């Protein structure tokens, strides 16, 4: 009865759409009422593969985004992908539910996770219990999730074209450097015009926009998951000064980094 006081509709759909994923799957080792509710929320607006007990990830069309029941399931899927030589997040993007910092952070690829808002869930469960003890009836109370904590396992845009995938990975691995379309073309051994056309056709925006997107995404992860000062975050993400980082970040998010971290 107290399982009614859970979040079963996490903001995974929007998260995967923002990262351009078409192929999606659910994975859990077990299947009970809580699994069913979470799976129902995940597939309410868009269908997805359902993997229960085993993960035939090697046979799935890629790139694919997978929502797992919890971090333990996410870690199992991650280990299987790495053992099979499947790259995470480029081929398989993994998002878990629960946001256990220990399990999420202590992985070869740190796992993005949905914070369940357990504190509010506890209050709601207590309210349901009190009502039952007074002779009342239980009613479902669906608790909205608090946020998605983004880490490495979903820090990618879904890309099928091999050259664009290489370019996206090159950008991610060189964020601290001064890079642009020319440097990207040199690294891939092709012309600047070809890179521009591929980006426009495959992901719908320019190389400059993708570099900026990845830099802001990395800044958010560092603000959210570390206590690093703005000066070090700026150096790690290719901003020449903390003030430059602050100006660009505020333009993109509406907040300066310090206030975004606090929120």
In CATH, what number is assigned to the domain containing residue 107?
Answer: 3.40.50.2300
Lateral strand order in the sheet of 23-28: 49-52, 23-28, 64-68, 92-97, 112-115, 147-149
- How many separate domains does the chain show? 2
pLDDT at 73: 96
Do 15 and 144 fall within a single domain?
A: yes
Pull the structure tokens for residue 262: 């606090």
pLDDT at 124: 63
| Burial class of residue 137, CB neighbours in 10 A (0-12, 13-18, 19+) | exposed
Higher pLDDT, 125 or 259: 259
DSSP 8-state secondary structure symbol assigned to residue 38: H
What domain range is 239 assigned to? Answer: 162-262
Do 94 and 121 fall within a single domain?
A: yes
pLDDT digits (tens, 9 = 90+) for 125-180: 666 677 777 777 665 555 555 578 888 899 888 888 889 989 998 998 999 999 99
pLDDT at 9: 46
Domain boundary among 154, 189, 210: 154
pLDDT at 8: 44
Q: Are 31 and 63 in contact (CB under 8 A)?
A: no
Do 202 and 257 fall within a single domain?
A: yes
Do 185 and 246 fall within a single domain?
A: yes
In this model, does residue 232 exceed pLDDT 60? Answer: yes
Do 37 and 83 fall within a single domain?
A: yes
pLDDT at 234: 95
Do 43 and 137 fall within a single domain?
A: yes
């Amino acid at each position: 009865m107290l399982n009614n006081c859970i979040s079963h509709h996490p903001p995974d759909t929007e998260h995967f759409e923002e990262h351009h994923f078409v192929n999606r799957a659910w994975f859990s080792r077990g299947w009970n009422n809580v699994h069913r509710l979470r799976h129902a929320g995940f597939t309410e607006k868009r269908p997805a593969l359902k993997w229960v007990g085993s993960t035939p990830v090697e046979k799935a069309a890629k790139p694919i985004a997978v929502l797992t029941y919890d971090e333990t399931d996410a870690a199992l899927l991650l280990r299987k992908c790495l053992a099979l030589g499947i790259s995470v997040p480029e081929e398989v993007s993994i998002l878990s539910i629960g946001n256990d910092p220990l399990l999420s952070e202590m992985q070869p690829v740190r796992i993005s996770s949905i914070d369940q808002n357990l504190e509010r869930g506890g209050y709601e469960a207590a309210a349901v219990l009190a009502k039952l003890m007074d002779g009342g009836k239980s009613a479902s109370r669906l608790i909205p999730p608090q946020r998605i904590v983004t880490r490495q396992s979903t820090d990618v845009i879904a890309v099928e074209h091999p050259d664009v995938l290489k370019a996206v990975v090159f950008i991610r691995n060189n964020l601290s450097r001064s890079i642009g379309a020319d440097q990207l073309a040199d690294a891939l051994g092709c012309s600047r015009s070809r890179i521009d056309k591929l980006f426009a056709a495959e992901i719908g925006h320019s190389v400059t926009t993708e570099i900026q997107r990845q830099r802001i995404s990395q800044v958010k992860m560092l603000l959210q998951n570390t206590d690093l000062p703005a000066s070090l975050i700026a150096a790690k993400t290719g901003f020449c000064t903390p003030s430059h980082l602050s100006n660009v970040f505020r333009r993109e998010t509406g907040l300066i980094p310090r206030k975004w971290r606090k929120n």
